[in-house]
């Protein structure tokens, strides 16, 4: 097919056969091929994707352009623009949550940067244009309000808890309900109840992603979650040292037991790049999580280096500013893209209720 004539119809045909990363269905079937302009040997076209796919929009546009270049070798230029396609989430689980992908971020133990990673993943997804909510399920040590510099008490309107907003992102945390210095002693049923309430009774609105910062190590919360809603999967955060890795193995087996799919592992505090000389120092080691992920047959999503901005800005409640640091932002953008690819792959293998055709 070397000399295929470049016509809008031929271009449309090629684009129609591409698969929507979210649903796995061809774009032609769901009317997601937009305007096409062919002038001489120049192709300008538009593909519509839902905001759920926006974190991987550039790679999708690149692969579409590549497909066109292969099919039309005579094309002098190919430009693919991505615009928004509306496909609202269908309500999932018995509680009818209107979220396309619910993702739990867990770790075997505290202090590995789970809340930092969960919050940064939520912010990166949101920056990419996806609609994101963040639920702090770490009722023992809620730190999301602190990281985002949020204060206030949620109101209840029409029997729904109104989350607080960080920019456009709804956030719910036990930290909004108890004083920071108040010790919370949870018994099993209360824990179960609070997680259920956070999910079922909070007005999350329609979302692409709900990121859940899990309490460290506790299998009962994972079980509660898995019974309430179908989760897109879990991300396990660990640091490179062996001790922390052993805890990560426990977290992985906990998610496996509760049949929550594993989207992958993230290695946090992975090396330190010295701002003075640009040299890398592997304070806690490096690469351990990648090896462990391979051994356990869990995808490896990426590494986040130790970063002074990250620590300082988080403590001041401006974690979003730390993400402007190019090292941090590129680390999280990469992790988020790998995570979204995993969500899509799993959905394509087992299309569930989160994949409606509209
Ligand atoms: N990549 C990183 N670089 C620098 N500091 C980090 C990094 N990740 C986490 N921290 C810091 O480590 C501490 C623990 O992080 P946190 O996210 O609260 O851990 P966890 O939720 O696992 O208990 C916080 O002070 C946080 O700012
Ligand atoms: Mg935490």
- CATH code: domain of residue 198: 3.40.50.300
- 271 and 244 belong to one structural domain: yes
In a domain, 89, yes or no: no
Specify whether 197 is located in the same domain as 322. yes
Cβ atoms of 285 and 296 within 8 Å: the answer is: no
Cα(265) to ligand 1 centroid in Å equals 16
Ligand 1 midpoint to CA 114 (Å): 7
**323 CA to middle of ligand 1, Å?**
13
pLDDT given at position 53 = 98
- Smallest CA-to-CA distance from 238 within 299, 142, 304 is with 304
Query: Computed from CA positions of residues 141, 146, 152, 157, in that sequence, does the dihedral angle turn out positive or negative?
Result: negative
- Does 236 share its domain with 321? yes
Locate 239 and state its tokens: 């640091």
Last residue of a domain, one of 84, 116, 136: 84
Each residue of 201-260: pLDDT tens digit? Answer: 999 999 999 999 998 876 788 888 898 999 999 999 999 988 788 889 999 999 999 999
- The pLDDT assigned to 352 comes to 47
Could you tell me the residue range of the domain that residue 23 belongs to? Answer: 8-84
For residue 184, being part of any structural domain is answered with yes
Of 242, 324, 285, 301, the C-alpha closest to 105 is: 301
The answer as to whether 94 is a domain residue is no
CA-nearest residue for atom 27, ligand 1, is 311
- Tell how far the Cα of 140 is from the centroid of ligand 2, in angstroms: 9
Kindly state the DSSP code that residue 285 receives in the 8-state scheme: B
User: What is the residue with the minimal CA distance to atom 26 of ligand 1?
Assistant: 311
Supply the pLDDT for residue 333: 96
For residues 74 and 104, state if they share a domain.
no
Predicted local confidence at residue 180, as pLDDT:
66
Tell which residue, 175, 115, 121, has the closest CA to residue 150: 175
Residue 234's H or E segment, with its range, is strand 233-238
The tokens describing 112, both together, are 């590995």
Q: Do 127 and 270 sit in the same domain of this protein?
A: yes
Q: What does pTM read for this prediction?
A: 0.93
In a shared domain, residues 231 and 330: yes
Residues of the chain with pLDDT under 50: 1, 351-358
- Same domain for 72 and 105, yes or no, is no
Domain count, the chain: 2
251-266 pLDDT, tens per residue? 999 999 999 999 999 9
Same domain flag for 229 and 274 = yes
Report the nearest atom of ligand 1 relative to the CA of 141.
23
Whose atoms come closest to the Cα of 175: which ligand? 2
Residues 77 and 117 reside in one and the same domain: no
Say if residue 191 is in the same domain as residue 108.
yes
Helical spans, DSSP H, in 25-109? 57-71
């Amino acid at each position: 097919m070397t000399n295929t004539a470049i016509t809008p119809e031929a271009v449309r045909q090629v684009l129609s056969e591409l698969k929507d990363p979210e649903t796995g269905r061809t774009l032609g079937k769901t009317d997601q091929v937009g305007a096409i302009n062919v002038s001489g040997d120049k192709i300008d076209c538009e593909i519509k994707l839902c905001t759920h796919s926006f974190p991987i929009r550039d790679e999708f546009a690149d692969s579409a352009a590549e497909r066109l270049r292969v099919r039309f070798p005579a094309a002098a230029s190919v430009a693919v623009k991505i615009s928004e396609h509306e496909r609202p989430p269908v309500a999932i689980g018995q509680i009818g949550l209107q979220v396309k992908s619910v993702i739990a971020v867990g770790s075997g133990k505290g202090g590995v940067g789970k809340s930092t990673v969960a919050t940064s993943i939520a912010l990166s997804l949101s920056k990419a244009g996806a609609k994101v909510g963040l639920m702090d399920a770490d009722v023992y040590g809620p730190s999301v309000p602190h990281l985002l510099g949020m204060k206030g008490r949620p109101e209840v309107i029409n029997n729904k808890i109104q989350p607080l907003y960080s920019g456009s992102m709804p956030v719910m945390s036990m930290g909004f309900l108890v004083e920071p210095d108040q010790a919370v002693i949870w018994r099993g049923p209360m824990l179960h109840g609070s997680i259920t309430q956070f999910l079922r009774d909070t007005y999350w609105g329609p979302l692409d992603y709900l990121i859940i910062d899990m309490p460290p190590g506790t299998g009962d919360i994972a079980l509660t979650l898995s019974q309430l809603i179908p989760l897109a999967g879990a991300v396990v955060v660990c640091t490179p040292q062996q001790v922390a890795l052993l805890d990560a193995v426990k977290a992985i087996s906990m998610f496996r037991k509760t049949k929550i799919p594993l989207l992958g592992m993230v290695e946090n505090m992975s090396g330190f790049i010295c701002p003075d000389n640009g040299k890398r120092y592997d304070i806690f080691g490096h690469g351990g999580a990648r090896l462990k992920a391979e051994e356990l047959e869990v995808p490896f999503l990426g590494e986040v280096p130790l970063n002074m901005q990250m620590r300082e800005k988080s403590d001041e409640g401006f974690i979003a500013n730390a993400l402007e640091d190019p090292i941090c932002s590129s680390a999280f953008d990469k992790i988020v893209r790998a995570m979204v690819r995993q969500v899509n792959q799993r959905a394509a293998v087992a299309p569930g209720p989160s994949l409606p055709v509209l």
